Amino acid sequence: MNFFKQKTNILFLFIIFLLVAALSGVSYFSYEKHNDYVAVSSALSDNNSKLNEAQKKIDELNQKIENYDSDVILSEQEKAELRSQLQAALDEKARLEGENSSLKAEIEQLMAKRNELQDSIRLNLVNQADTAEGGICYLTFDDGPSNNTLKILDILDTYGIKATFFVVGTARTEYIPQIVNRGHAIGLHSATHKYDVIYKNVNNYLSDIKHISDIVYEKTGIRTNIMRFPGGSSNKISAQYRKGIMTDLTDRMTSLGYSYFDWNVVSGDADASVVPAETIATNVLSRARGKNSICVLMHDTEKKTTTVEALPTIIEGLSAMGFRFAPLTAESYGFHQTVGN
């Protein structure tokens, strides 16, 4: 009880309570705005389809009217009817264009509000991180799950901390429910992880992310909106398949309501097929120094046994540095790197 007798400790807890309450409120509001965005975006898509049909009808009528002089069969009454139909089609097109303008303006307002919310959340998290000696640590694992994931989950349970797993569709997807049931965050990575396919064009990527989203939903009943691009948003390998695609995708996925995450601490466990556990732990702890909050990149594929071995040392070392552990949420700061393509 001595902890609660110190005014500074009570003040610290009060500040954390206020921040959690504020973030919960903003998270709910952000979710509502995302639903609004999806509804308006759907209406805009429907409207564009109607506009295309209206333009097609106008083109057909104009073609008929252009043939007035050569068409001896068409009576004056029939010509007048065509003109009337053309005017009606033009009026409908004008109405649809007016609706389009309104819908686009509404989307711009929703996106502006979303950006404002993200800035507010980012500021709150930075301030929250500054209240602790070392700030927040987000442990993240890519390319699983595998049998090593189960071992990682046991270690995390032992230390009473939560992490984030960016899963792929080619892994042991039957383990995905365990990640969620044990209180960790699930994120989308890729259904195939084939750079030459997913980065060939935007539609390929969207199809891939939908596939892994469907797998996660089928296994857990959850539609997660946190994700990580294979290779990160700064990867330049994608340029081999389509120039500028990462610029397009980072904008597109954000507009669709997803929060993508890169990292600012690399474990190096992917530098070779097998990296010594000591090297992995040293990489994380040395690269975490001097940072207020960190997002650590690790992998939980079948071959990454040394990542499992290094994890206790990493957790204990980061704890000694003053870091607190948390799973990523859509409202967390994205640790975005500079887009390289």
Of 76, 106, 128, the residue at which a domain comes to its end is 128
The whole-number pLDDT of residue 116 equals 64
Percent of the chain with pLDDT over 90: 58
Number of structural domains (the chain) is: 2
For residue 206, tell me if it sits in a domain.
yes
- Determine the Cα–Cα distance for residues 250 and 261; give it in Å rounded to an integer: 10
Residues of the chain below pLDDT 70: 1-48, 64-74, 107, 111-134
Least Cα distance to 137 among 329, 337, 286, 315 occurs for 315
Which tens digit of pLDDT belongs to each residue from 6-27?
544 544 444 444 444 444 444 4
172 domain residue, yes or no: yes
Do 212 and 248 lie in one domain? The reply is yes
Q: Domain for residue 331, yes or no?
A: no
Q: What ranges make up the beta strands (E) of 67-207?
A: 136-144, 164-168, 185-190
Reduced to 3 states, what is the DSSP secondary structure of residue 319?
A: helix
Percent of the residues in the chain that have a pLDDT greater than 70, as a whole number: 74
Residue 308 makes CB contacts below 8 A (sequence gap 6+) with 148, 151, 152, 155
Is this model's pTM higher than 0.85 or not? no
Say whether both 118 and 154 belong to one domain: no
Instruction: Give CA–CA dist 10/5, Å, rounded.
Output: 8
Encode pLDDT of 181-238 as tens digits.
999 999 999 999 999 999 999 999 999 999 999 999 999 999 999 999 999 999 999 9
Matching residue, tokens 């049909």: 53
State residue 118's pLDDT score: 52
Do residue 108 and residue 150 come from a single domain?
A: no
In a domain? residue 330: no
Do 302 and 158 share a structural domain?
yes
Domain extent, residue 13, equals 5-128
CA 263 vs CA 8, 94, 140, 297: distances in Å: 33, 48, 9, 6
* Shared domain check, 283 and 173: yes
Q: Is the dihedral of CA 260, 294, 315, 17 positive or negative?
A: negative
Q: Are residues 168 and 317 in the same domain?
A: yes
Residues 251 and 147 both lie in one domain: yes
- Say how far apart CA 158 and CA 172 lie, in whole Å: 23
Return all residues near 234 (Cβ < 8 A) that are at least 6 apart.
Answer: 246, 262, 337, 338, 339, 340
Say how far apart CA 92 and CA 311 lie, in whole Å.
Answer: 64
Residue 334, domain member (yes or no): no
CATH number, domain of 317, equals: 3.20.20.370
Same domain, residue pair 144 and 292:
yes
Identify whether 275 is part of a domain: yes
Residue 336 lies in a domain: no
CA 32/CA 26 separation, integer angstroms: 10
Question: Are 85 and 201 members of one domain?
Answer: no
Same domain as 204, residue 95: no
- Are 113 and 162 within one domain? no
338 part of a folded domain: no
Check: CB of residue 235 under 8 Å from CB of residue 340.
Answer: yes
What does the block give as tokens for 202?
Answer: 């935007």
Of the candidates 256, 192, 203, the one whose C-alpha atom is nearest the C-alpha of residue 225 is 256
| CA geometry: angle 284, 288, 293, nearest 5 deg | 125
CA dist 165 and 187 (Å) reads 6
Statement to judge: residues 140 and 237 lie in one domain: yes
* Angstrom distance (rounded) from CA 127 to CA 292: 10
